[in-house]
Amino acid sequence: MPPSPDHYATLGVDENATAKEIKKAYRTLAQQYHPDRNAGDTAAEERFKEVQSAYDVLGDEEKRKAYDRQRRDPFMGQGGPGGPFSGFGGGGGGGQFYRAPDGTYVRVDATGAGPDADFIFNEGGGLGDLFGSMFGGGASRREGYPRSGPRGGRDVDATMELSFDEALRGGPSQITVPSGDTLRITIPEGVRNGMKIKLKGRGDAGPTGERGDLFITFEVQDHPRFRREGDDLRVTERVSAVDAMLGTEREIETPYGKRVKVRIPAGTQPGAAFRLRGQGVKTAKGRGDLYVEVALTVPDLPDGARQSLAAWAEANGLR
């Protein structure tokens, strides 16, 4: 079962396409759906993001190889396809896939986030329904939702809202659960929106006195400048058409407060993205990258400059 989304289909290229063909398809689509050409068109903006995401993978030789391997075997190295919940205890620190009785898969990573946190359930297709079928009942937002626990107690859901910066930093915090109790927890560094942690024995007590578990889902607010894709970050930098033609250099401040220089070469096209390795989100497993996307602004030229530019363009066959 190939991973979703299909990056090859997004760019409209064959699986055996060359790097040159992939780059050409990306440039064509990036120009077609670029926000500067489709102001106010949300559908075009989403399509542009899909094209960027696809090229980030297929345009990188190592990422493309890993992607192709995953297309051939989406659960490779994540536990065998044996009985229900196969793979439990297998694999390394990268997490394992577990298969529920209905055949749905979910990846579970050890979090190491404090003495009480046991697992992080990574977001993905159908997790809400999967957790409902595994633990009884559906997911809820804002309010806790008690469920029948495996030890006679009742499991409880809670939601914790975080700012973008709080999610990046992680660390000790407090949450007030539906019962009214205030618990001290450790937020995993670089936690993503929709991630869920389980606190053993912090749910409601059952008839035997044993307690269920508490499941906390993190809701991370958007950042006004940075967009998160996995552990990678994207930021749009506006550059004048003149600087794009001649080349320039910009200093980008990351969400962590670090200033990094990026060189924008002469002839840069709108929608081009430049990768700053290791400047993305930091987690216990490593760091993502920061992609600087170029958006062009066209200066308003005075008459004299406009005439000079027109003469130059005509002399060089550009008009």
| CATH class of domain segment(s) 1-74 | mainly alpha
Rounded to the nearest 10 degrees, the angle between the axes of helix 42-58 and helix 19-33 is 160
The pLDDT mean for the chain works out to 76
Average pLDDT over residues 169-175: 90
Dihedral, 113, 115, 116, 120 alpha carbons, nearest 10: 20
Fold designation for 224-301: HSP40/DNAj peptide-binding domain (2.60.260)
Calpha distance 34→51 (Å, rounded): 10
Write the pLDDT tens digit of every residue in 228-258. Answer: 999 999 999 999 988 998 999 999 999 999 9
Average pLDDT over residues 142-156: 57
Tell me which of 7 and 41 has the higher pLDDT.
Answer: 7
Q: Find residue 147's DSSP bridge partners.
A: 155
Going by pLDDT thresholds of 50, 70 and 90, the confidence category of residue 152 is: low
Q: Give, as one character, the DSSP assignment of residue 281.
A: -
Asked if pLDDT for residue 53 goes beyond 80, the answer is yes
Average pLDDT over residues 254-279: 93
Fold designation for 111-220: HSP40/DNAj peptide-binding domain (2.60.260)
Write the pLDDT tens digit of every residue in 198-207. Answer: 888 888 887 7
Write the pLDDT tens digit of every residue in 120-132. Answer: 443 333 333 334 3
Type of residue numbered 282: K
Average pLDDT over residues 151-177: 87
- Each domain of the chain, given as residue ranges in start order, spans 1-74, 111-220, 224-301
- What is the per-residue pLDDT for 208? 79
Range 258-262, long-range pairs (CB < 8 A, 24+ positions): 260/290, 262/237, 262/292
Residue 48 burial (10 A CB sphere; 0-12, 13-18, 19+): buried
- What is the per-residue pLDDT for 244? 92
Do 53 and 7 meet the contact criterion of CB atoms below 8 Å apart?
Answer: yes
Asked if pLDDT for residue 293 goes beyond 90, the answer is yes
Q: Phi and psi of 306, rounded to 5°?
A: -65, -40
Calpha distance 234→236 (Å, rounded): 7
- What is the per-residue pLDDT for 101? 42
**Is-cis flag, bond preceding 270, omega within 30?**
no
Residue with tokens 């064959």: 14
The H-or-E segment that residue 10 falls in is helix 7-11
Going by pLDDT thresholds of 50, 70 and 90, the confidence category of residue 100 is: very low
Type of residue numbered 105: Y
Q: Do domains 111-220 and 224-301 have the same CATH topology?
A: yes
Percent of the chain with pLDDT over 70: 74
